[in-house]
Amino acid sequence: MKPLRLLLPALLLAAAAFLSACVHGAKSSLEPGYVSLFNGKDLTGWGYPNGAKFDGLTEVPGDDRRFKVVSGLLTAIARTPQQRPLELRTTANYTGDLILKLEFRAGVRADSGIFVRGRQLQCRDYSTMGPYRDLKSYKPQDWNEVVITVKGGTAVCTCNGEVLEAAMPIPANGGIGLESDGGIMEYRNVRLKLTP
């Protein structure tokens, strides 16, 4: 049996990894068939619809720094009254049937959106901003999961298993986007599966 002084460094590393996973919500592995769209470190694979790309950056450049990576979370910062809503989008486009899953935490009265090929699903502090105020499983200011299943050009969208939209039309081609509008929105575990 090894002396405690020899085991202590390994135990400390294991504890640090466990705490990091708890704080950042890291998953040990993706579900089969899924690819991660956000690496938890920087904005690689993301950009603006105008073609700007942010590979390797932890926040968008310029004066309007409304998207950044904070403590492993993709964070959308509220716009000022003079600014318009802004969309951060994957630089890759996707066609065909797919399943998009992500977790979000909305600040009080936060207002954002999830774009699938240009079509927006409202992603907000639903309890205060709607439009889905009657959700039973929504957890205000806590982590919630949205699943968007696109089949044949139509999406079923759920939050924590409750239906938000039963038949939302989706364009044939485009990226996945997140919006900065009102309040603070945090995203994690953004992942996608292309389905046959």
Q: What is the pTM of this model?
A: 0.84
Work out the average pLDDT over 172-193. Answer: 96
Confidence of residue 6 (pLDDT cuts 50, 70, 90): very low
Does residue 161 belong to any structural domain of this protein? yes
Whether the predicted pLDDT of 19 surpasses 50: no
What is the full DSSP assignment across 114-174? EEETTEEEEEE-HHHH-S-TT-SS--TTS-EEEEEEEETTEEEEEETTEEEEEEEE--SEE
Work out the average pLDDT over 66-94. Answer: 92
Confidence of residue 65 (pLDDT cuts 50, 70, 90): confident
The residue type found at 93 is N
Provide the domain count of the chain: 1
> Torsion angle of alpha carbons 181, 66, 103, 107, nearest 10°?
-60
Confidence of residue 80 (pLDDT cuts 50, 70, 90): confident
Range of the domain at 178: 29-194
Does residue 10 belong to any structural domain of this protein? no
C-alpha to C-alpha distances, 102 to 65, 119, 189, nearest whole angstrom? 22, 16, 5
Work out the average pLDDT over 6-29. Answer: 44
Q: Are 184 and 78 in contact (CB under 8 A)?
A: yes
Does residue 47 belong to any structural domain of this protein? yes
For 40-109, what is the HEC assignment? CCCCCCEECCCCCECCCCCECCCCCCCEEEECCEEEECCCCCCCCCEEEEECCCEECCEEEEEEEEECCC
Q: Are 68 and 54 in contact (CB under 8 A)?
A: no
Does residue 6 belong to any structural domain of this protein? no
Does residue 13 belong to any structural domain of this protein? no
**Portion of the chain with pLDDT greater than 90, in percent:** 74
Beta-carbon-side half-sphere exposure of residue 165 (alpha carbons within 13 Å): 20
Confidence of residue 105 (pLDDT cuts 50, 70, 90): very high
Work out the average pLDDT over 65-86. Answer: 91
pLDDT tens-place string over residues 155-169: 999 999 999 999 999
Does residue 67 belong to any structural domain of this protein? yes
Does residue 113 belong to any structural domain of this protein? yes
Weakest mean pLDDT among 12-16, 36-40, 122-126: 12-16
Q: What is the CATH number of the domain that holds 152?
A: 2.60.120.560
